[in-house]
Amino acid sequence: MLTEEVRYLVESFWEGCIAKFTVPCLNPVPCFGLLEVRKLIESLQKKRHEYPCPVCNEWQDIVTLLRNAPAASKPITAEVLEKQLSSIENKLDTVDVNVRRLRSQSDKNFDDLLHILTDEAKKVRACSVSSRWKQ
């Protein structure tokens, strides 16, 4: 049920994305075959207890394949979490400094552009006023 819920969420959130849940082949000879969980379950429902690997063509026990989930990761200690959080905070501080620098440069460029445009407007107005007086 969990994999179906995840599949539904992925496919409804990212249009065109298809979620396929797979388990690795159990062949002792190195095989990189992946078997779709949905097809394994469908085969079990049809009273088939084995399914062939698409790469090595060895028939695998479906129940064993479905139990072949990756081992749970070790719990993370508070010290490791604190180190990771500190590292992330340092990176965010660096990003904040860079963002402030870029924002400052952007403000300066905008001010320079306004100055150039207002100077050009003064020159054009001065030229048009002086050309009227000549006539």
Q: List the domain boundaries for the chain.
A: 2-66, 75-135
Average pLDDT estimate for 22-50 = 88
Angle at the Cα of 88 (from 82 to 94), degrees rounded to 5?
A: 140
d(CA 96, CA 1): 42
Alpha carbon distance 51, 54 (integer Å): 9
Looking at residues 37-64, what average pLDDT do you find?
91
What 3-state DSSP class applies to 52? strand
pLDDT recorded at residue 48: 92
Mean pLDDT value across residues 26-54: 89
66 Cβ contact partners less than 8 Å away, ≥ 6 residues apart: 23, 37, 40, 41
Q: Which of 53-57, 88-92, 110-114 has the lowest mean pLDDT?
A: 88-92
Name the most confidently modeled range: 9-13, 40-44, 117-121, 131-135.
40-44
- pTM summary value: 0.43
pLDDT at res. 51: 93
Q: What is the pLDDT of residues 17-35, one digit of tens each?
A: 777 788 888 887 778 889 8
Q: Which residues of 77-100 are buried (b: 16+ CB within 10 A; e: fewer)?
A: eeeeeeeeeeeeeeeeeeeeeeee
- Give the pLDDT confidence score for residue 52 in this predicted structure: 93
Mean pLDDT, residues 5-20: 79
Q: What pLDDT, on a 0 to 100 scale, did the predictor assign at position 47?
A: 93
Per mean pLDDT, which range of 42-56, 65-79, 98-112 is the poorest?
Answer: 65-79
pLDDT given at position 91: 84
Check if the beta carbon of residue 21 is closer than 8 Å to that of residue 3: yes
57: left (phi over 0), alpha (psi -120 to 50) or beta: left
